[in-house]
Amino acid sequence: MHRFIVAVAHPMGIGPNPVDDPLIPPIQVDENLVTPGVVGFVVTLFVALAVIFLVTDMTRRIRRVRYRGEVRERLEAERLNAEQVGESSTTEGEHPAAN
């Protein structure tokens, strides 16, 4: 069973980590040369500004949709109220245009 697991796992890259191997020395790299630099800063700044713009735009659009819904509900309520007032005045024998 163990041979089967080893045969299946190793071709997929699952196995011992070569970085942990004590026979392989770690790579010596100057930490001052391995930085994102100006290009990394500019890209990060661009992504941050794009996210701020998108969040602001999304908030504005959501607010606009909510306000339109509220206005639509108010207009519908006013229309229904006007119809009810018109029906009550016509049932009393008065014509709504006579007021």
Inter-residue long-range contacts of 58-65, CB under 8 Å, 24+ positions, other chains counted: none
> E strand or H helix at 51, and its extent?
helix 37-91
Average pLDDT, the chain: 80
For residue 17, being part of any structural domain is answered with no
Asked whether residue 58 is domain-assigned, the answer is: yes
Query: Average pLDDT for residues 10-17, to the nearest whole number?
Result: 58
Give the range of the structural domain holding residue 96, as residue numbers without chain letter: 42-99
CA-to-CA distance for 18 and 29, rounded, in angstroms? 18
Q: Is the pLDDT of residue 94 over 70?
A: no
Distance CA 59, CA 20 (A): 49
Q: Is residue 27 part of a domain?
A: no
Residue 76 covered by a domain: yes
Direct distance between the N- and C-terminal alpha carbons of the chain, in angstroms, rounded to an integer:
96
47: in domain:
yes
Give the single-character DSSP code of 35: S
pLDDT over threshold 70, residue 37:
yes
* Domain-located, residue 62: yes
Tens digit of each residue's pLDDT (9 = 90 or more) over 49-92: 999 999 999 999 999 999 999 999 999 999 999 988 888 776 65
pLDDT-derived band at 10 (thresholds 50, 70, 90) equals: low
96 contacts: CB under 8 Å, gap ≥ 6: 86, 89, 90
Which structure tokens are listed for 12?
A: 């997929």
- pLDDT at residue 33, as a whole number: 76
Number of domains observed in the structure of the chain = 1
> Does 1 reside within a domain?
no
pLDDT over 90 for what percent of the chain?
Answer: 44
